[in-house]
Amino acid sequence: SDSEDQLFKVILLGEHGVGKSSLARIFGGVEDLQDVDCFIFPGNTYDRSIVVDGEEASLLVFDIWEQDDNHWLHNQCMKMGDAYVIVYSVTDKASFEKASELRIQLRRARQSEDIPIILVGNKSDLVRSREVSVEEGRACAVVFDCKFIETSAALHHNVKDLFEGIVRQIRLRKDSK
Ligand code: GDP
Ligand code: MG
């Protein structure tokens, strides 16, 4: 049915501490529960409908990448997504390098598929401790053939655009089939 077609599984990937859970909680609209929630449940899934370009879409956002160091779970994550958000922190060069690794892993896992991937440079509010420039992020996204956006979970900057962008990317691919 149409409503099933509009339920999209989105997987958050990225190094520890880059802001995956913060972004997911803002999306889920539960940012107030932050610390308690995060401590008790290291992994979470958020289910929400958003209207994008006048049409409703339901996103299931999985923040489970770091739940444990289980290879099975990581393989599942690589297989199950309709779209991927690869997050790094603009204040952490190592997390940016890790994002490239994840992109390569993802390409290997989903070889012939054209799945939407958004590279996200989070913590754009931390201007003085920036280690990765906007240009580096953008260039990386070009090489990896994916979309790019910088966000600040702390300021809620571009978070809405990020999730709307995911829906648009998924729809573009569906429409071209
Ligand atoms: P995760 O390990 O990827 O899930 O990252 P978290 O969402 O737990 O965030 C790690 C830390 O970075 C927490 O202390 C957050 O409050 C902080 N953080 C996350 N996003 C931002 C951001 O955009 N700006 C700033 N200044 N801090 C952030
Ligand atoms: Mg987390």
pLDDT tens profile 7-27 = 899 999 999 999 999 999 999
The beta-strand segments (E) located in the chain are 7-14, 44-52, 55-63, 83-89, 117-122, 147-150
Spatial distance between the Cα atoms of 29 and 50, rounded to a whole number of angstroms: 12
pLDDT at residue 30, as a whole number: 67
Please report the sign of the dihedral spanned by the C-alpha atoms of residue 141, residue 23, residue 173, residue 109.
positive
Ligand 1 pocket at CB < 6 A: 14, 16-22, 122-123, 125-126, 152-154
Q: What is the pLDDT of residues 24-77, one digit of tens each?
A: 999 988 655 444 444 444 568 888 999 999 999 999 999 988 866 678 888 888
Pairing of strands 44-52, 55-63: antiparallel
Dist. CA 51 → ligand 1 center (Å) = 26
10 Å Cβ neighbour count for 22?
22
Single pTM value for the model: 0.91
H or E stretch including 110? none
Nearest ligand 1 atom to alpha carbon 123: 23
Spatial distance between the Cα atoms of 81 and 38, rounded to a whole number of angstroms: 22
Spatial distance between the Cα atoms of 63 and 45, rounded to a whole number of angstroms: 6
* ipTM for the predicted complex: 0.99
